[in-house]
């Protein structure tokens, strides 16, 4: 049956913050070393960053990059990663049981952000360290001169301070796996005290408190309430993390319905933070930073080895079906534009990443998941619109009443372009989709349409270094559109733009 998506200029879900198209660089596995960084690579720049990988990062289009972790940050001594490289210590990274050579640190990463045109989002260690190390880092990074840490940066050859606005107050402090794991009360107090101190160093910064690390945490929601009870008025955002595991979904229809769980989780985090807002008599709603999200085959056994350097750690290879889940994450984030103001696809290169490199300086290539992100980051800007969707529905092993389509809509106020991101969850049927434009004017006389389709030979199809183009977008119809239904192929992600 024909589906119908209704949008109207009055049904705005809020302005899309460009920072929702962020990603994440952790000192983990082959993300940094043998990923973005390889000084022996023919395309390496003066810092040792691979130029071919940087080109792919720019094409992917992350607006903000979180760094240096992740679990890694909770044991990190940032001082180890600044100053002359020859003097930097080699350490054991207790989070991932790997060797950390400290060849990449704060200044190199911040130069990388400039190179790929992304804003940095830095995290401080509230696991094994605390307020003093955090204030020193903010001073080192963002103050001009005339104090011990800012002058130390200058002595390291970085004369101007970096413009680092966003700072995460630790990482996943609710998780027992986290170095320095804390109770909600302990963490909430520490986040509040650290926030007060950091704002004294630099009042311009924006601070993110750690929310829950995954929806199944037994402390989920009470963690948010208790942490925010301590630090609500001191922080600007609350984080949330979520990974979808295709192995746990067990079948493709169930996996493709995970968008329902993503929507429900965001709604629950909003509810928990609104409870803290009401209980604390705060007027400002708490914006969310969804600063780790992706597909992660997390239930598979992991070989870490004995203190390896840059091991192949969670180097997941993504399928066509996984790319649709990535598209669903983006649609869910867009549906919550008023509250989700930052988000990071975790991670950027090699570690659960849209970009892969062959070990030892080999070829770099795009995974299936690269494309929904890259196209949404480029074209999903402006105002997010509520979509009134009429579509067929189905049940899965875990869900009831799943819409066959997942649709998000965006209006670019500058050009008036309407962009629809459409996922067909049906594995075998093409669904005709009518676009009903409500009170939008200017499209009646025949709009220009551009339809881009991402699909593949099967749900399990993947790209690889030797076959990088198995799952790639192709142009659908383009030309004049006068209101006829648009064919949405089975198992596909689509971008439909009307000008
Ligand atoms: O992104 C991989 C890991 O997942 C991060 O280090 C941690 O924060 C999360 O559990």
Return the CATH architecture of domain 3-9+385-498: Sandwich (2.60)
Dump pLDDT digits (tens) for 174-203: 999 999 999 999 999 999 999 999 999 999
Dump pLDDT digits (tens) for 310-327: 999 999 999 999 999 999
Contacts of 466-473 with C-beta under 8 Å, sequence gap 24+, read 468/363, 468/365, 468/366, 471/319, 471/320, 471/323, 471/368, 471/371, 472/366, 472/371, 473/371, 473/375
Dump pLDDT digits (tens) for 352-405: 999 999 999 999 999 999 999 999 999 999 999 999 999 999 999 999 999 999
Q: Is 339 exposed, middle or buried (0-12, 13-18, 19+ CB in 10 A)?
A: buried
Q: What is the pLDDT of residue 112?
A: 98
* Residue 442 in this model has a pLDDT that exceeds 90: no
Q: Model pTM?
A: 0.98
Q: What is the pLDDT of residue 68?
A: 98
172 is catalytic: yes
| Joined tokens for residue 452 | 């881009």
Q: In whole numbers, what is the pLDDT of the chain averaged over residues?
A: 97
Q: DSSP letters of 235-281? A: -SEEEEEEEE-HHHH-SHHHHHTHHHHHHHHHHHHHHHHHHHHHHTT
Supply the ipTM of this predicted assembly: 0.99
From CA 341, how far away is CA 338, in angstroms rounded?
Answer: 7
Which residue's alpha carbon is nearest to atom 9 within ligand 1?
70
* Residue 305 in this model has a pLDDT that exceeds 90: no
Q: Predicted confidence band at 302 (pLDDT cuts at 50, 70, 90)? A: confident
From CA 102, how far away is CA 27, in angstroms rounded?
Answer: 9
From CA 223, how far away is CA 288, in angstroms rounded?
Answer: 15
* Residue 445 in this model has a pLDDT that exceeds 80: no
Tokens 């598209």 -> residue: 327
Q: Predicted confidence band at 446 (pLDDT cuts at 50, 70, 90)? A: confident
Q: What is the pLDDT of residue 443?
A: 82
CATH H-level superfamily of 17-379: Glycosidases (3.20.20.80)
Length of the chain as a residue count: 499
For residue 382, the SS3 value is: coil
Q: DSSP letters of 49-90? A: BBHHHHHHHHHH--SEEEES-SGGGGG--GGGGSS-GGGPPP
Q: Is the CB of 26 under 6 A from ligand 1?
A: yes
**Rounded mean pLDDT of 205-215?**
98
Q: What is the pLDDT of residue 303?
A: 78
Where do the domains of the chain lie? 3-9+385-498, 17-379
- Proportion of the chain above pLDDT 90, given as a percent: 96
The rounded Cα 196 to chain-centroid distance in angstroms is 27
Q: Is the CB of 69 under 6 A from ligand 1?
A: yes
Could you say which of 26, 119, 172, 450 is catalytic?
172
Which residue's alpha carbon is nearest to atom 4 within ligand 1?
70
Q: What is the Å distance from ligand 1's center to 65 Cα?
A: 14
Q: Is the CB of 346 under 6 A from ligand 1?
A: yes
- Nearest CA to 169 out of 183, 140, 190, 184 is that of 190
């Amino acid at each position: 049956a024909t589906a119908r998506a209704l949008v109207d200029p009055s049904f705005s879900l809020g302005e899309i913050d460009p920072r929702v198209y962020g990603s994440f660089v952790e000192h983990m596995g082959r993300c940094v070393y043998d990923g973005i960084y390889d000084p022996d690579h023919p395309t390496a720049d003066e810092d040792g960053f691979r130029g071919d990988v940087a080109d792919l990062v720019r094409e992917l289009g992350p607006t903000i990059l979180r760094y240096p972790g992740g679990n890694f940050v909770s044991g990190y001594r940032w001082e180890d990663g600044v100053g002359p490289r020859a003097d930097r210590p080699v350490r054991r990274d207790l989070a991932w049981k790997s060797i950390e050579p400290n060849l990449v640190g704060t200044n190199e990463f911040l130069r990388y952000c400039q190179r790929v045109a992304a804003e940095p989002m830095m995290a401080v260690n509230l696991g094994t360290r605390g307020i003093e190390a955090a204030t020193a880092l903010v001073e080192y990074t963002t103050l001009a001169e005339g104090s011990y840490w800012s002058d130390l940066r200058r002595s390291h050859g970085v004369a101007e301070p970096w413009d680092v606005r966003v700072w995460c107050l630790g990482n996943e402090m609710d998780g027992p796996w986290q170095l320095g794991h804390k109770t909600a009360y302990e963490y909430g107090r520490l986040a509040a005290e650290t926030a007060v101190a950091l704002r004294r160093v630099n009042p311009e910064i924006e601070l993110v408190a750690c929310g829950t690390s995954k929806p199944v945490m037994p402390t989920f929601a009470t963690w948010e309430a208790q942490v925010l009870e301590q630090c609500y008025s001191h922080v600007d955002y609350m984080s949330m993390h979520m990974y979808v595991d295709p192995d746990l979904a067990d079948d493709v229809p169930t996996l493709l319905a995970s968008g329902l769980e993503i929507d429900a989780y965001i709604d629950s985090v909003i509810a928990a933070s609104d409870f803290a807002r009401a209980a604390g008599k705060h007027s400002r709603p708490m914006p969310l930073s969804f600063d780790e999200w992706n597909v992660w085959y997390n239930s598979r056994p992991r070989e870490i080895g004995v203190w390896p350097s840059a091991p192949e750690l969670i180097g997941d290879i993504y399928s066509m079906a996984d790319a649709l889940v990535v598209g669903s994450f983006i649609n869910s984030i867009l549906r919550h534009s008023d509250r989700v103001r930052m988000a990071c696809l975790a991670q950027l290169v090699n570690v659960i990443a849209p970009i892969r490199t062959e070990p030892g300086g080999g070829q770099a290539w795009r995974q299936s998941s690269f494309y929904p992100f890259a196209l949404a980051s480029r074209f999903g800007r402006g105002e997010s619109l509520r979509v009134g969707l009429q579509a067929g529905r189905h049940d899965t092993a875990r869900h009831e009443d799943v819409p066959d389509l997942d649709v998000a809509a965006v209006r670019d106020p500058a050009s008036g372009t309407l962009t629809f991101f459409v996922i067909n969850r049906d594995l075998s049927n093409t669904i005709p989709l009518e676009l009903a434009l409500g009170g939008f004017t200017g499209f009646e006389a025949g709009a220009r349409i551009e339809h881009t389709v991402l699909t593949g030979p099967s749900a399990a199809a993947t790209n690889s270094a030797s076959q990088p183009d198995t799952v790639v977008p192709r142009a659908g119809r383009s030309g004049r559109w006068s209101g006829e239904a648009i064919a949405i192929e089975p198992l596909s992600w689509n971008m439909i733009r009307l000008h």
